[in-house]
């Protein structure tokens, strides 16, 4: 019995040593926090009346809920439930990127705010000016009148790998300088959001909640590698899946906002979709990967370069394209005017195509964004004329007419269920076959009136839908 007791004691001792050794390997975040917390700020966006973007998002479920397969929520602060008109304040986070007062946060934290205030850890408070913002990247650049401010160190998000430790500092529910930690769960994550097709997110399990929006995500070197932006949740609270905007993308946007006041994105001018098993078999592909070209916008860079409907893009400028969602962020992050090399499979053979990127105009809307055509701010979407290849792909006869929607940027159109790739056959009782016919038909409607459209959707279903014509500047 004594021998057994001694063996048990030895085993227990070894177990304690193993646990102690493992604990000793866990990172100590205190140095990162003490060094960087002074450069993290609490952001208050005040709205004098009406509904803030956060309240609209809570009530409507986002601009394009049917295009969001996951329950994604941006981390707005402020009241937990929807409120009507009273003035209120929404809370978020941010971080100082230069000692002369430039601060980075999310666009949705300060969007349309009547005033913005930031508070530092030492309790100093400053009125902030929104220097510029970009909705597609969800980035906003603020500026305060101050000097010799503490700053964060900027890291390299392209070097992040799943399993690495990361740390967040922010103001969840208004609790300033809350520190949480976790690991990188995945990189290059596309969320399927129609309003954010050009961002490949960092996925983590770092606990973050309302008020963390715009706050920094640090690596173990104490460098910012991301901006906390969204969560996956069916309750509105943290459920173990969080998403951050890569800092490489954000700093590229910052530089452009500083120098020219807006963000430019590259554009090829094609509509794309995923390759599945059936399409791979039909196209004679060796595997299921790449971006299948379903439309080529007339006169676009892709059209001039010789891209054709049915091509499968497998590589963009040396980077592998595994799925259709991989391509838009790559193209958008490349400066307009850049000559890029595409690897394309056509008729079972791989060929190389050089394309000089154009510039994506406006907010765009998904892989087919940036096409050339008509833009209807009145209805919240733009259209382009259809090519013979497009008609063949969609099974439409020339006699049926129609113009194809190339991007949707208005709430009314999104709520009506309109999507890029849908075909508008009639406006009211008038058949439309060209962009000019569409423009002429739309011009007859006054703001606030209801416009009936006959639409053939991407699934081949034809039905009438109605869209309320917006007042100028209301979308």
Binding residues: 108, 138, 211-213
Active site residues: 108, 138, 213
> Are 102 and 131 spatial neighbours (Cβ–Cβ below 8 Å)?
yes
Q: Which residues are annotated as a binding site for substrate?
A: 108, 138, 211-213
Residues 176-199 as b/e (b if ≥16 CB within 10 A, e otherwise) read bbbbbbbebbebebbbebbbbbbb
Q: Count CB atoms within 10 A of the CB of residue 460.
A: 9
> Are 222 and 32 spatial neighbours (Cβ–Cβ below 8 Å)?
yes
């Amino acid at each position: 019995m004594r021998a057994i007791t001694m063996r048990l004691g030895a085993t227990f001792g070894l177990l304690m040593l193993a646990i102690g050794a493992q604990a000793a390997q866990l990172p100590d975040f205190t140095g990162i926090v003490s060094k960087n917390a002074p450069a993290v700020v609490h952001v208050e966006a005040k709205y004098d009346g009406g509904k803030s973007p956060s309240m609209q998002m809570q009530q409507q479920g986002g601009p394009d809920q049917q295009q969001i397969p996951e329950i994604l929520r941006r981390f707005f602060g402020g009241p937990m439930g929807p409120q009507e008109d009273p003035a209120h304040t929404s809370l978020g986070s941010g971080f100082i990127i230069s000692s002369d007062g430039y601060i980075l946060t999310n666009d949705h934290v300060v969007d349309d705010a009547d005033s913005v205030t930031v508070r530092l850890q030492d309790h100093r408070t400053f009125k902030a000016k929104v220097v510029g913002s970009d909705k597609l990247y969800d980035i906003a650049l603020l500026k305060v009148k101050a000097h010799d401010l503490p700053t964060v160190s900027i890291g390299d998000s392209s070097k992040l790998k799943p399993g690495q430790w990361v740390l967040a500092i922010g103001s969840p529910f208004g609790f300033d300088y809350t520190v949480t930690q976790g690991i990188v769960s995945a990189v290059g994550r596309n969320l399927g959001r129609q309003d954010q097709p050009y961002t490949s997110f960092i996925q983590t399990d770092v606990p973050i909640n309302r008020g963390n929006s715009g706050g920094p995500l640090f690596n173990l070197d104490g460098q910012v590698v991301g901006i906390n932006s969204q969560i996956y949740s069916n309750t509105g609270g943290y459920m173990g899946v969080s998403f951050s905007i890569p800092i490489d993308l954000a700093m590229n946007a910052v530089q452009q906002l500083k120098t020219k006041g807006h963000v430019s994105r590259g554009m090829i001018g094609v509509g794309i979709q995923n390759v599945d098993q059936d399409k791979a078999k039909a196209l004679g592909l060796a595997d299921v990967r790449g971006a299948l070209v379903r439309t080529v916008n007339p006169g676009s860079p892709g059209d001039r370069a010789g891209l054709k409907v049915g091509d499968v893009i497998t590589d963009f400028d040396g980077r592998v394209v595994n799925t259709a969602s991989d391509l838009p962020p790559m193209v958008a992050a490349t400066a307009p005017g850049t000559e890029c090399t595409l690897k394309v499979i056509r008729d079972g053979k791989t060929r190389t195509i050089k394309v000089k990127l154009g510039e994506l105009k406006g907010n765009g809307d998904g892989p087919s964004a940036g096409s050339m055509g008509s833009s209807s701010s009145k209805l919240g979407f733009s259209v382009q004329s259809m090519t013979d290849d497009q008609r063949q792909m969609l099974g439409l006869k020339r006699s049926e007419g129609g113009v194809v929607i190339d991007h949707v940027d208005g709430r009314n159109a999104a709520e009506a269920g309109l999507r890029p790739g849908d075909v508008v056959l009639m406006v009211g009782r008038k058949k439309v076959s060209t962009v000019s016919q569409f423009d002429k038909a739309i011009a007859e409607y006054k703001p606030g009136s209801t416009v009936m459209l006959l639409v053939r959707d991407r699934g081949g279903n034809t039905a009438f839908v109605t869209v309320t014509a917006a007042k100028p500047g209301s979308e």
